[in-house]
Structure 1
Amino acid sequence: MRHWRHATAVVAALALGVTGCGRDDGGPGAGGPSAGGAIAEGKATGEITVWAMGAEGEKLKALADDFTRENPAAKVTVTAFPFDAAHDKLATAIAGRQTPDVSMMGSTWMGEFAKTGALDPTPAGLFDQAAFFPGAWDTTVVDGTAYGVPWYVETRLIYHRTDLAAKAGVGKPANWQELTAFAKGLKEAGGAKWGISLQPGGTGAWQSFLPFAWQAGADVLADGKFTLDTPQMRTALEYYASFFRQGLAPSQVAPGAQESGFVSGDIGAFVSGPWHMSILREQGGAALEGKWDVAPMPREKAGTSFIGGADLVVYRDTDNRDTAWKFVRYLTSPAAQQKLYDLVGSLPAVTATWQSGKLADDPLLKAFGAQLADAKSPPAMATWEQVADVIDDGIERVVRGVTDPATATREMQAKASAIGTGS
């Protein structure tokens, strides 16, 4: 998922309102089922409404039309709206029990919305979990129950200027030590002003930092308790901050400056997702062609990256559960996954789609597919966005030299524990 954020306090109040206003069929943490009931055999019938966001929402009608051609007795009405409005629109709909039958949902929102009891557990046996990237499937699981299925995914790799790397005599970094040497080489011998660009704090910095935490063997949560103040987390934060302390990464990056800096050669490398491929091709043009590549995340104890994207969910208040889930099943078929990629470039969550065509042949796309096999998301919890703000703040304070990693992780642990997981 890209940086999808929202007004947490308002949303929390709305979510609490749902659980306190008549839902007695249980959600996770309230004796909810471990799997939903089966759906009927046969073709889909009747009407459903579907909400989706961004480019995927704008193009979803084409997939809905394919579905209704196969199921002529069914009707799918798609409503598309911007990403910025998505979270609060869903929260308001849940609070008022005016939900659609199906919606797209940001993968890091699953814990929050599942806790409201508004989501229908994924029907047992309807989907093959092994067909999806493991990290993507994990985003749907809250307290042992899957709510929905992954629709599309993204992960992060190291974009880098190959011409500057060749000039510096450095290759793709395999571990942390080599990544530091890589950034130094790009700056000192390659001619870049900055060896690498990393997010120095602020909204969404956790998405840049947590892969390094996972690589160090750290995690956010274990056995229901926060684990933000551990030696592994401190090691990761110290390593992340070292790029800024050594002058290898800029402590401030204005919007658009990362891309223009990479094109000009001022920035030798940066970590980002697949959307940057088209941005670099557009901004760099022929002059940049053949001068950049992507590298997997470095491996310490692990080589894990972040996995984001969006899931598909069905709401418990649906009046047409069978058709809702049949439409979700259709959208996760290899053919529909391929068409979504062809329409908007969203990377498929179903691994079989990566076995042919451009996804199998393009070296850059293959690199993203390989990294998706070792990628994860933060734990699904109702309070994740609040906890994410705490992590973002801790990162920024260390990067700017306001505090040290040991103090920052201790404060992060205390603040996150005070917030709780919402269970």
Structure 2
Amino acid sequence: MRIRRWRLATAVAVLVALPLAGCGRADDAGGDSGGAGQAVGAGPAKGEIAVWAMGTEGEKLPALAADFMKENPEAKVNVTAVPWDAAHQKIANAVAARQTPDVSLVGTTWMGEFAKTGALDRTPDGLIDKASFYPGAWDTTEVKGASYGIPWYVETRLIYYRTDLAAKAGITSPPKNWDELKAMATAMKEKTGAKSGFYLQPGKTGSWQSVLPFAWQAGAELTKGDAFNLNSPEMTEALSYYQSFFKEGLSVTDMDPGATEQEFIAGRMGAFISGPWHIGLLKEKGGPAFADKFAVAHMPTGKKAATSFVGGGDLAVFKDGKNRDAAWKFVAWLAKPETQAKWYGLSTDLPAMKQAWDDPKLRADPMLKTFGAQLDDAKSPPAIPNWEQIAAAVDDQVEQLCKSDRSAADAAAAMQQKATSIGTGA
């Protein structure tokens, strides 16, 4: 997702989830559990297929859908572009009124919420090979053992760093573990004059996406069974490490998140964490001469792993849609490797299907190859209905952690208490 979309999506994350479960269908309120959905009929797609897509996807999808309609001349795909900041409520209202489209792009962290309503159709048996997708991406579609869609596109997070400043600081290779990351940040700060050796989000909205990779790297599990596990020793260790960058003056708390590019280009920031959208932004704003001054690196290895965050968008089919078979045929077509590779050319959205990464455009770009490699070890938060509220609680504690003397243990305990009081919503 591009940065403008990420800001809108994270703003939506603070919305309190609507009480949709009460609007569920009488036969399946609370969602299905386990298994696969009814098979799709043979033959080409026919009839009208109503599709909602957000942001740039909504603008670009009609061009791709035209190819589908050439292959399926009796089908007509009607795409409605929906702004990301209105998408959650629009889908929620449509579910409640049982006036949904056939297909919609759904934010990965919304899947648990909408699956609980019983509004999403389970992925048909035999339609999609889950092994073809990156595991972390496929996991975003699964709720209680059942899949409710396919991953359409993905993004993950890497470390962006100034190669020229790293050389000046005596860093000859990207950091491979927590100790090396701290050493790079310290050298960047002390030897290059960077205000932030390594910028981390100081508890602003969406900071949970930066914190969770360190938690997973330390071996933390966010849930155990049906209970939260946010106050584990591993989570506390990750929070303490995250906080240390602020305690040691290696990251700042007073920077406008919108200033990331200018601070990095100006050399006031040595490194930061972000997704693939920043490649284009930095090249555009930095100009041709800046393209050789930065690189990306894998997330560092903690005690257990070198895991990153996986986000993106899933495609879901609604039970109240009017053309189920054609909807799933369109979704399956969008999941083909050749379609996903062509979609990257139109949108720069990274493919969720591994085989699509064999496309020459993706193979030839060393930065994109690094993102592709990171996707082999990337996770998503648990697919639970109340995740957006839990995320807001994590953000609140991270802000206190970064801007005060609050201990990591106290922050973890507060996260656990708040999450437990909210509940999973399952």
Look up the match of 1:319: 322
- Residue in 2 aligned with 1:118? 119
Q: CA separation in 1, counterparts of 2:314 and 2:63?
A: 19
What is aligned with 2:400? Answer: 397
Q: Cα distance, 1:269 vs. partner?
A: 0.3
Q: Which amino acid aligns with 1:319?
A: K
Q: 1:338/1:206 Cα in 2 relative to 1: closer, same or farther (>3 Å)?
A: same
1:33: how far off? 5.4
What is aligned with 2:159? 158
SS of the aligned residue for 1:373 comes to helix
Residue from 251, 254, 259 that aligns with 2:253: 251
Give the Cα–Cα distance (whole angstroms) in 1 for the partners of residues 246 and 13 of structure 2: 30
Q: Does 1:344 align with 2:350?
A: no
Deviation at 1:251, TM superposition (A): 1.0
Q: CA deviation at 1:344?
A: 1.2
1:72–1:31 distance in 2 versus 1, CA, 3 Å: closer
Q: CA deviation at 1:30?
A: 5.3
Q: Hey, what does 2:357 align to over in structure 1?
A: 354
Higher mean C-alpha displacement, 4-13 vs 88-97: 4-13
User: Aligned partner of 2:358: which letter?
Assistant: Q
**Whole-angstrom CA distance in 2 between matches of 1:302 and 1:113:** 31
| 1:15-414 equivalences in 2 (<5 Å) | 15-19=20-24, 23-26=25-28, 32=33, 34-170=35-171, 171-300=173-302, 301-414=304-417
Instruction: Write the distance in 1 (CA, Å) between the matches of 2:291 and 2:195.
Output: 21
Q: Which amino acid aligns with 1:178?
A: E
Taking the aligned partners of 2:313 and 2:13, their CA distance within structure 1 comes to 19
Distance 1:110 1:151, change over 3 A: same
CA distance in 2, matches of 1:399, 1:38: 50
> Distance in 2 between the 1:49 and 1:387 partners?
32
Q: TM-score, normalised by structure 1?
A: 0.96
Tell me how far apart the structure 1 counterparts of residues 259 and 49 of structure 2 sit (CA, whole Å). Answer: 43
SS of residue in 1 equivalent to 2:49: strand
Find the counterpart in structure 1 of residue 12 from structure 2.
Answer: 6
Single out whichever of 222-231 and 150-159 deviates more from structure 2: 222-231
Secondary structure of 2:18's partner?
A: helix
For 1:55 and 1:397, the matched residues in 2 are separated by 35
Q: Distance in 2 between matches of 1:418 and 1:142?
A: 21
Tell me, yes or no, if the aligned pair for 1:153 and 1:310 is still in contact at 8 Å.
yes
Shift of 1:24: 2.1
Output the CA distance in 1 between the equivalents of 2:332 and 2:80. 19
SS in 1 for 2:12: coil
Percent identity of the aligned residues?
Answer: 57
Deviates more, 1:382-391 or 1:350-359: 350-359
Of 226-235 and 351-360, the range deviating more from structure 2: 351-360
Mapped to 2, the partners of 1:354 and 1:31 lie a distance apart of 33
Q: What is the rounded CA distance, in whole Å, between the counterparts of 1:7 and 1:352 in structure 2?
A: 32
Q: Is the CA contact 2:154–2:313 (under 8 Å) kept in the aligned structure 1?
A: yes
RMSD: 1.4
Aligned to 1:415: 418
Following TM superposition, by how much is the alpha carbon of 1:193 offset from its aligned partner in structure 2, in angstroms?
Answer: 2.0
Whole-angstrom CA distance in 1 between matches of 2:378 and 2:38: 30
Letter in 1 for 2:211: F
Distance of 1:7 and 1:276 partners within structure 2: 21
**How many Å apart are 1:192 and its aligned residue?**
1.5
Distance 1:257 1:317 in 2: 43
| C-alpha spacing 1:30/1:87, structure 2 compared with 1 (3 Å) | closer
Q: Distance in 2 between matches of 1:181 and 1:395?
A: 23
Name which of structure 1's ranges 4-13 and 141-150 shifts more when overlaid on structure 2: 4-13
SS in 2 for 1:324: helix
Distance 1:194 1:319 in 2: 53
Displacement, 1:335? 1.7
- Residues 16 and 109 of structure 1: CA distance in aligned 2, closer, same or farther (over 3 Å): same
1: CA distance between counterparts of 2:187 and 2:14? 42
Instruction: Work out whether residues 31 and 115 of structure 2, in 8 Å CA contact, stay in contact via their aligned partners in 1.
Output: no
CA distance in 2, matches of 1:185, 1:7: 35
Alpha-carbon distance in structure 1 between the residues aligned to 2:33 and 2:223: 22
Structure-1 separation of matches of 2:387 and 2:34: 23
- How far is the alpha carbon of 1:25 from its aligned partner? 2.9
Cα distance, 1:286 vs. partner? Answer: 2.4
Can you give the 5+ residue segments of structure 1 that lack an aligned partner in the other structure? none
Deviation of the 1:183 alpha carbon: 0.3
Q: Deviations over 1:122-169 (max 9, x none)?
A: 001100001101000000000000000000000000000000101111
TM-score by length of 2: 0.96
Distance 1:402 1:380 in 2: 32
The size of the alignment, in residue pairs, is: 418
